[in-house]
Chains A and B, each alone.
Chain A
Amino acid sequence: MQSRASLLGGLALLVAAALAAPFLPDWMVSLATIAFANALVVLGLVVLWRVGLVSFGQALYYCIGAYAVALTGRWTGFTDALALVLLGGVGAGIVAASIGFLLARYREIFFAMLSLALSMILYGVLVKTESLGSTDGFSVATPTFFGYAPHGAQLSHWLYWLTLGVDAIAALLVGLYFRSVAGALAAPIRDNEIRVEFLGISVSGIIHTKVIIAGVLGGLGGALAAMSIGHVDPNMAYWTTSGGFVFVTVLAGSGYVAAAFVGSLAFEALRSFAVDVMPQLWQMTLGSVLLLTILFLPEGLGSLVSRLRQRRAVKP
């Protein structure tokens, strides 16, 4: 019942968001596109967070997704947006699957720091690679959509729609995943790994899967962001990028899939507002918001919904 309601609600929001594009100023469409691309990375972090793991290196997959798009365009001239996004997701997924063998053995701060270390290695390699523009990076070829090559505002609308579409499918699949045995095992694994093993489950296998899911989502997000920004550079793998994703994850909370998207949109809006209006105070704003979230909404924005629901349930 409840899942059908949230499905219909999500669908209505999706259609509304898609239809709004032509009526919004261009900067707003671009901002929303970046926010919704980044939301995929956040969704991946939510998958990990539910099992009690935080990755401070999710920018690794973000950067891999972005560079996969940029390099394919540069080397082969291939520009189909959908295929490139999928390529970014698969590329990042393969990397996640390989390093997952290592990561799945670690927990807590070790997991967080190991993720960070791996992303910083990629950052270091990209900075040293002169042929890829070193710290400056290089630009991404203008994407096409099944042979159609829009320009200007049209292009940003199409990228926005593509991002919404990928988000919708990702949200649906992650929602289903949360209802599966593997997804539902998040709290049990956090609670008691020994019991989970003795129910016949490989805990490291489950965590490995989660690392891959988060990696694929990170790659998809990076690929979409690269096309939307039109440029890639090593900063996409830098630890502050990862930190931003963790920030939004804390802001959003792990209770609801939709919270990742709302949280990401709120974050990008806040950032662009703060950087415009009070550039010197941006870091402070960020800190204050995080502080307030942790103090008053420790389970994130999503918990507002459950609080409302509870209040409504209490009232006759």
Chain B
Amino acid sequence: MTPILDVRDLEKTFGSLVAARDINVSVPAHQTVGVIGANGAGKTTFINMITGHLRPTKGSIRFEGRDITGKPSREIVRLGISRSFQVAQIFPTLTVFENMCIAAAIARRKSGLLGNILTPVTSPAATSEAEAAIDLFQIARYRDVTANALPQGVRKLLDIGMAVAGSPRLLLLDEPTSGISIEEKFDLMNVVMSALKSRKITVLFVEHDMEIVAKFADRVLAFYDGTVIADGTAHETLDNPRVQELISGVRLKAASHA
């Protein structure tokens, strides 16, 4: 079967700085992939290239067999890849419901040059998808709260919910638990992962907490200095001596389990 994501020889340089190099990854549909690596290892750069936010210097990216290298992000979104952000990207002056509604309406808009103008923002299809996404992410009690007043965890869920309201087939989560207290992290990931599973969305997530990686990822990629130094099941990657040596936090995790 064609992999949902196929990345070949990907490279990104910023002047003399090499942020990504020799990245080769192929992800089959419905696999949950965790991405680990120290600060500045190139994880966000990797996601930015897949979502069209950055244009790779070299290499190719295929989504369901189709070459998407260098396409603008809005086109990639329309093809079926969505993302959430390290810092939640929501519309602070709108309520949770309005945020979701916009996301759902955009995904359901008519095609063509005037599609944005000819689609009402509160069509029944859009509002019912917005309500469904709010329920799916268990944030119904914040439905009418303005987004800038939301607690951190809810902002994250809203950010991911908005991406999901666009019915993607591949979702890239950049540190979904960053800024969240340790006690809340697992609950948040449980909500997110079961929501994505019920929608049959393939997910790749960046995470610094190895407990979470071990619990939720079928497969783990370890990034170091812009490239993938280990790729295997969660166990294989986290037990890899090189990974333990180069990525702090991994050894701690291993030690705590020993």
Contacts and interface: CB of A to CB of B under 8 A. Distances in A.
A199 B162 contact: yes
B92 A182 contact: no
A180 interface: yes
Nearest to A189: B91
Interface of B: 51, 53, 72-75, 77-78, 82-83, 85, 89-94, 102-103, 105-107, 109, 115-122, 162-163, 166
A148 to B, nearest CB: 35
Given A179-B122, A192-B92, A195-B89, 20 more contacts: A180-B116, A180-B118, A181-B105, A181-B115, A181-B120, A182-B116, A182-B117, A185-B106, A190-B93, A198-B53, A198-B74, A198-B83, A198-B163, A199-B162, A199-B166, A200-B107, A200-B166, A201-B74, A206-B116, A209-B117
Contacts of A197: 73-74
A201 B106 contact: yes
21 contacts: A179-B121, A179-B122, A180-B120, A181-B102, A181-B119, A185-B116, A187-B94, A191-B91, A192-B90, A195-B89, A198-B73, A198-B74, A198-B77, A198-B82, A198-B89, A199-B103, A199-B106, A199-B166, A200-B106, A200-B107, A202-B74
Nearest to A200: B77
A198 B92 contact: no
Q: Which 7 residue pairs across A and B have the least CB separation, nearest first?
A: A182-B116, A200-B77, A184-B121, A195-B89, A191-B91, A188-B91, A181-B119
A68 B122 CA distance: 39
Which of A188, A199, A201, A209 counts the most B-chain CB atoms under 10 A from its CB?
A199
Contacts of B53: 198
A143 to B, nearest CB: 31
A201 B73 CA distance: 9
Contacts of B106: 181, 185, 199-201
B116 A195 contact: no
Interface string A187-220: 1101110110111111001100100000000000
Nearest to A180: B117
Nearest to B168: A200
Contact of A199 (B72, B107, B119): B107
Contacts of B119: 180-181
B121 A180 contact: yes
A133 interface: no
Contacts of A188: 91, 94, 102
Which of B83, B116, B162 counts the most A-chain CB atoms under 10 A from its CB?
B116
A209 B162 contact: no
A168 B70 CA distance: 45
A197 B163 CA distance: 12
Contacts of A185: 102, 106, 116
A183 interface: yes
A181 B74 contact: no
A230 B154 CA distance: 60
Contacts of B83: 198
A222 to B, nearest CB: 24
A181 B121 contact: yes
Given A180-B117, A181-B116, A200-B78, A187 B73 contact: no
Contacts of B107: 199-200
